[in-house]
């Protein structure tokens, strides 16, 4: 029994080739190889990593209405976004299968089922057989993200079996939302993956808080971005660079145990693929005195209803032929 409790997981704190989907996916697969070589069965990447976080917004007057500058950058963002239906993640899925490696990947998704011209910050789970298990579209974009990202839905609030663990995850500030966390807890989650665009200020406190609240392991994984990494090919590059300096996202990836102690302390200002073993026996020990959806719950008093319908603007009812 003890031998089946242990799982090795990895965080991949890497920078995108900003706003370049194919080059960034190539970097993702290099990191997957490194994680698998370290013995990991799961690797996670930061929010919106492919093709990158919209750092230009606060640096170029992103809220100016009908701006030709914003339209040009936005159109490029759509061009470089991930359309799963078009096969943009197929080679990542194939590599996951070859490596026997599960993956959580943050992407900017441009889905056909919402018309194909709006984007969502999505968290894609690929299992060790190369199958996409869930696509969670961020429920509520944060602050200026709402200028480019659409609000998601509950369809991706799902967990997945992984060894002795049940793994689930949320995007960035969704991790501050008590009810989506509770939904995942109710599904038996005991390994929580929180993905972020990057920032120790985001991950240092909440990672340990969620671990202690849920009595689960929490893997927080961030992207990384420095002003010097802005490529020449990006539209309006001079304007973006003029408003940028230093670290736009300094990382902060980390791993906390169910008692809130660090397994991997926050990693800042460098790319890194780090792996560590986690032991499900520790989850069971910490649940002895608190289990938010088990013996320390009162569903007769409070309970949660979750709508996991994939939202659409139209439902078509065709007559039978």
Q: Average pLDDT, stretch 95-109?
A: 98
> pLDDT digit string (tens) for 6-56?
999 999 999 999 999 999 999 999 999 999 999 999 999 999 999 999 999
Please list the active-site residues.
47, 138, 172
Query: Does residue 73 have a cis bond before it (omega within 30 degrees)?
Result: no
Contacts of 79 (CB under 8 A, 6+ apart): none
Binned at pLDDT 50, 70 and 90, residue 320 comes out as: confident
Q: Average pLDDT, stretch 235-263?
A: 97
Sign, CA torsion 43/225/216/167? negative
Taken in order of first residue, the domains within the chain and their CATH numbers are 2-286 (3.60.110.10)
Output the average pLDDT for the chain.
97
Residue 287 vs residues 21, 263, 291, 294: alpha-carbon distances, Å: 42, 18, 5, 9
> pLDDT digit string (tens) for 150-206?
999 999 999 999 999 999 999 999 999 999 999 999 999 999 999 999 999 999 999
**Could you tell me what percent of the chain has a pLDDT over 70?**
99
What's the CA angle centered on 28, arms 24 and 34, to 5 degrees? 145
Residue 281: predicted pLDDT: 97
Tokens of 173: 């500030």
> pLDDT digit string (tens) for 266-285?
999 999 999 999 999 999 99
Residue 2: predicted pLDDT: 45
Q: How far apart are the first and last CA of the chain?
A: 56
Cβ pair 121, 195 in contact under 8 A: no
Find the length of the chain: 321
Binned at pLDDT 50, 70 and 90, residue 3 comes out as: low
Q: Is the pLDDT at 321 greater than 90, yes or no?
A: no
Cα distance between residue 169 and residue 220, in whole Å: 10
Q: Is the pLDDT at 108 greater than 70, yes or no?
A: yes
Whether pTM exceeds 0.85: yes
Burial label for 268, CB within 10 Å (0-12, 13-18, 19+), is: buried
Cβ pair 69, 61 in contact under 8 A: yes
């Amino acid at each position: 029994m003890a031998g089946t409790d242990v799982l090795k997981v990895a965080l991949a704190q890497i920078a995108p080739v900003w706003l370049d989907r194919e080059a960034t996916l190539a970097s993702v697969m290099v990191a997957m190889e490194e994680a698998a070589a370290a013995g990991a069965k799961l690797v996670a990447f930061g929010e919106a990593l492919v093709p990158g976080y919209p750092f230009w917004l606060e640096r170029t007057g992103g809220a100016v209405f009908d701006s030709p500058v914003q339209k040009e950058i936005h159109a490029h963002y759509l061009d470089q976004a991930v359309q799963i239906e078009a096969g943009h993640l197929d080679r990542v899925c194939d590599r996951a299968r070859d490596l026997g490696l599960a993956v959580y990947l943050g992407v900017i998704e441009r889905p056909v089922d919402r018309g194909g011209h709006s984007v969502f910050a999505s968290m894609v789970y690929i299992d060790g057989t190369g199958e996409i298990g869930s696509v969670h579209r961020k429920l509520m974009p944060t602050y200026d993200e709402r200028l480019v990202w659409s609000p998601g839905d509950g369809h991706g609030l799902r967990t997945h079996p992984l060894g002795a663990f049940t793994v689930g995850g949320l995007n960035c500030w969704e991790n501050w939302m008590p009810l989506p966390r509770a939904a995942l807890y109710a599904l038996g989650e005991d390994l929580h993956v929180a993905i972020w665009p990057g920032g120790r200020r985001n991950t240092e406190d909440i990672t340990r808080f969620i671990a202690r609240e849920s009595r689960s392991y929490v893997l927080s994984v961030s992207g990384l971005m420095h002003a010097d990494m802005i490529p020449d090919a990006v539209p309006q590059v001079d304007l973006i660079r003029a408003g940028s300096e230093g670290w736009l996202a300094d990382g902060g990836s980390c791993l906390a145990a169910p008692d809130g102690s660090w397994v991997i302390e926050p990693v800042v200002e460098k790319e890194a693929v780090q792996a560590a073993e986690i032991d499900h026996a520790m989850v069971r020990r910490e649940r002895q005195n608190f289990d938010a959806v088990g013996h320390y719950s009162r569903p007769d008093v409070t309970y949660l209803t979750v709508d996991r319908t994939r939202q659409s603007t139209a439902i078509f009812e065709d007559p039978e032929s």
